[in-house]
A and B are shown apart, each in its own frame.
Chain A
Amino acid sequence: MKQENAEKRPFIQTPSQTVGPYFAYGLSPAQYGFDLPELFGPTLAGPDCPGEPLLLIGQVLDGHGQPITDALVELSQRDAQGQDSGRALDPVFRGFGRCGTGTLTDGLYAFHTIRPGKAPGQVASCLHLTVFMRGLLTHCFTRAYFADEEAALEGDPVFQAVPGHRRSTLLARRAPDMGAHAWRFDIHMQGPRETVFFDL
């Protein structure tokens, strides 16, 4: 390896750049129908996975309220028992998935998973989402909490760290029109309902 590199570059963090509009065949090839095995897709839980099934579904919207059809959403979560499942290729449950917004109608993304449990000491359960898109030079981290966990949310240190008037942007809500196990979580990049993004 070239030695000058270390001298020329004193280990500053490599800058982020946009994922661009053409990430699909690299990052989500099977979802978009490309002929390459997919490492991470929209299904995190297999049929034998213990826990309450969950369809997390939503749109990513721009400052005009228009759905963005070239965004990529990544989901990280714990399993139903609150355990961490770091294995990428586990057929029963994978703690990580990806879904682009370019294959369903209306720019929807949809993850097939299970409702997450809580790690020891964790107050409210949540889903961890990261969003990427053309026009976003650095990705954004957010969380989807469950609207039916009111009591836990009252005591959750992260949820409570969010200014009160913005907390509702972090709530996934049941969407019975989209299925018995469907929860809706829209991500607003801008505007009066701009989703809270975290500085991790």
Chain B
Amino acid sequence: MTTSSPLPLLVSRDWQSHPPYQAPGYKSTLTRGPQQPLVVVPSRLGEPSVPVFGLDGLRDIDRDLTRNARRNGEPLGERIRVVGRVLDTVGRPLPHTLVELWQANAAGRYVHKVDQHDAPLDPNFLGAGRCLTDAHGRYEFFTIKPGAYPWGNHPNAWRPQHLHFSLFGQAMPCRLVTQMYFPGDPLLAYDPIYLEVPEKARTSLVADFALEETREGYALGYVFDIVLRGPLK
């Protein structure tokens, strides 16, 4: 039977939090970001739901990037533990939601074939992982602190150290792809991708160092909470 329960009204996208499509400091937005106004959808009738995973969808090792691609040893670099909660805008946790993560290695090199940065690949590190949040909306990854790397946006441009995150949230409009940065990174002050975020929201992309989340003798702890759009009530 086809069911058609009405879709919940969602908190709208807050353009005071998200960066614009046209961002002069970030060169490639000028030929890729749309220039026409977005069209408001009068009805979300028929909108498909977001993909849902059962317990069989993911392996436990998928959230440990220090182990999920080992070939002949351990990956090089500083081990870190990244934890946080996935919440909606009124602070309700999102349980059992997919969190995908990808990143450069400790030397600032991506495995991707297009990345020609002259820094070493690590045979024991892929740099991709995923997990589901637990019943309280919490996620946990073990990984390696990524290196900074140069890019072609402007002379002497370097991306700050960052992790890429991808989340679905509760409905299609809640989709989010973002980046987590590290506290105290001097490159943040020069990075147009970070600086194009409205000032009010910018620091929410910077994780907190958290000694209490550190695994003693093993990995330094960082906390990064992620807030997605959710139902209005």
Contacts and interface: CB of A to CB of B under 8 A. Distances in A.
Interface of A: 1-2, 4-6, 8-9, 11-27, 29, 32, 34-36, 39-40, 62-64, 68, 70, 74, 76-78, 81-89, 94-96, 102, 118-122, 125-126, 128, 130, 132-141, 157-158, 161-163, 166, 189-190, 194-200
A29 B120 CA distance: 21
B90 interface: yes
Nearest to A127: B48
Contact of B21 (A5, A12, A23, A137): A137
Given A16-B18, A200-B44, A2 B193 contact: no
Contacts of B39: 161-163, 166, 196-199
Contacts of A132: 177
A121 B226 contact: no
Interface in B145-183: 164, 166, 172-173, 175-179
Given A32-B112, A82-B2, 13 more contacts: A15-B17, A17-B19, A22-B110, A35-B126, A86-B49, A87-B51, A130-B172, A134-B28, A135-B32, A137-B20, A157-B42, A157-B43, A194-B34
A94 B48 contact: no
Given A14-B176, A194-B35, A20 B164 contact: yes
A157 B176 CA distance: 26
A86 B172 CA distance: 11
B36 interface: yes
Contact of A84 (B49, B128, B197): B49
B212 A88 contact: no
Interface residues of B, number: 98
Nearest to B33: A136
Contact of B48 (A36, A76, A140): A76
B9 interface: no
Given A84-B48, A88-B51, A121-B4, A17 B193 contact: yes
Interface of B: 2-4, 11, 13-14, 17-21, 23, 26-36, 38-54, 56-57, 68-69, 83-85, 87-91, 98, 100-102, 104, 110-115, 126-128, 130, 138, 164, 166, 172-173, 175-179, 193-194, 196-198, 200-205, 208, 210, 212-213, 223, 225-229
